[in-house]
Structure 1
Amino acid sequence: MTFFYERSESETEVNIVIKPHSLYLMLLMLAVWLLNDFVLQSAPMAQVLMPAFIVFMVVRFFSIIKVHREILVALKKGNVQTTGSKFSLKNPLTYCIKKHD
C-alpha cells in the first residue's frame, strides 16, 4: 500500500521509503482515545474508537510486514544503507538495498 510505504526498484538497488503518515495517524487516534477516556468518558464513542484503532494497527502491520522481511534479510547480508528519520515528513526513513548478482 502506498499510504504506508513506497517501494521502487532499479537494476542495481531497491529503495524503500517508510512514510510517517500512518505513525502520526496512530498517535492521533491514541490521543483522541485517551481524551475520550479521561475527559469525556463517553462509552459509545470508546466502542467505536478502540476497534477502529485496533483494525488500523492490524492493517498497517500486515501491509508492511513483507517489506520489513525484505529489509531484515538485507540487514543480515549487510547491503543496506539507511537514511532519514521515522518522524520526518521532509526526510522520511529510507532503506537503500544494493543488489548483488
Structure 2
Amino acid sequence: ITAMLLIMLATVLGNAAVCWMVISNPKLRTVSNQLVFNLALCDLLTAVVNGPITVVVLVSEKRWNMGDAMCAINGFTTTMFGLASVLTLAVISLNR
C-alpha cells in the first residue's frame, strides 16, 4: 500500500509538472510536446481517477465493496486512459 501511494504521488507530481510546463511556456507548444502533454495528461488522470480506487481495494483485502456501477466505471476509465496512452505512444512513434 505504501509503495502504491508513493507511485501515485510521483505520478501526480511528475505529470502535473510536465503539463504545467507545456501550458505555461509558449515555446514548448510544438506538435511533439503536445503529444507528450497528452501522454502526461492520460497518466495523470489514471493516477487521480483510478489510483484511489486501487488503494481502497488493497486496503479492503482485495475485495470489491463499491458496487457494480463503480466497477463498470472503474473498468471503463482504466481501459480508456490505458488505450489513450497506447495510442498516444503510437502517434509519437509515427511523428518521430
Q: TM-score range by the shorter chain?
A: 0.3 to 0.5
The structure with more strand, counted as a fraction of residues: 1
TM-score by length of 1: 0.43
More helix by share: 2
